[in-house]
Amino acid sequence: MDIAHLIHQKPEEKILYTLHRHPLTFLPIFFLFLILLCVPFILYFVTQVGGIFVLENKAVSAISILLTSGYFLGILLLFYTQFIEFYLDVWIITDDRVVDIEQWSLFSRTISELDLFRIQDVTADVHGILPTIFNYGSVTVKTASDKIDVILADVPNPNRIREALIQLSDEDRKKHNVTLTNEG
C-alpha cells in the first residue's frame, strides 16, 4: 500500500512513524477462526461414533456437503473481513500531522488528520497482563475541540509514541508560532 498516495503527502513533509495494531491483538480472532473451522469435523466425528449414519442417504449427503461448503465460505469471509479491518487500520505520524486511517469493513474507510500544533494532551494507556508484558496499548491524542480525538488503538510502545507526539507537537507549535493560550 502506497501510504504517501493515501494521505496526499505534502512536499516537505516527512513520515516519521507508520503504526499498526500489535499482532498479538489478532490472536483471539485467529483462534476463533480455527475453532469454527473444526466444528464440521467434530460434528461428523460425533455422528459417526454415535452410530448416527445420516450421510448414507444420497440426498442428505448432498445437502450436508452444500451446507458445509457454505459454512466454510462464510467462515473464510468472516476471517478475511476481520483481517482486512485489522491490517488496514493505520496511523501515520509525520512532522506536521497525525493521520488516522480506520478500516470499518471491506468497503468502508475513514481517514482523518490532526495538525500537530493543535494537540493539547497525549495519554498512553496500557491495561492488562498481555499488554504490559508485550508493551502495547492505546494512545489518545486530544485537542481543544470536543469532536477531534484520535485514538491509536493497541499500538506497540505506547509510551514512546506518546513522548514522540509531545515533542513533535512542541516543535510544530514553535514552527507555526502558536501557543496553547492563543490557539483557536
| Model pLDDT, residue 3 | 61
Largest CA distance in the chain: 80
| Model pLDDT, residue 180 | 53
| Model pLDDT, residue 2 | 60
Residues 6+ apart with CB under 8 A from 24: 130, 134, 136
| Model pLDDT, residue 156 | 95
Least Cα distance to 119 among 71, 173, 52, 79 occurs for: 173
Least Cα distance to 21 among 168, 131, 162, 166 occurs for: 131
pLDDT in tens, 25-67: 999 999 999 999 999 999 888 877 766 666 677 887 888 889 9
Report the sign of the C-alpha dihedral through residues 70, 71, 73, 78, in that order: positive
User: How far apart are the two ends of the chain, measured CA to CA in Å?
Assistant: 35
| Model pLDDT, residue 5 | 66
Q: How far is CA 39 from CA 65, 70, 103, in A?
A: 14, 13, 29
| Model pLDDT, residue 87 | 92
| Model pLDDT, residue 169 | 92
| Model pLDDT, residue 47 | 78
Q: What is the C-alpha to C-alpha distance for residues 80 and 76, in angstroms, rounded to an integer?
A: 6
Residue ranges for the chain with pLDDT beneath 50: 182-184
pTM (2 d.p.): 0.79
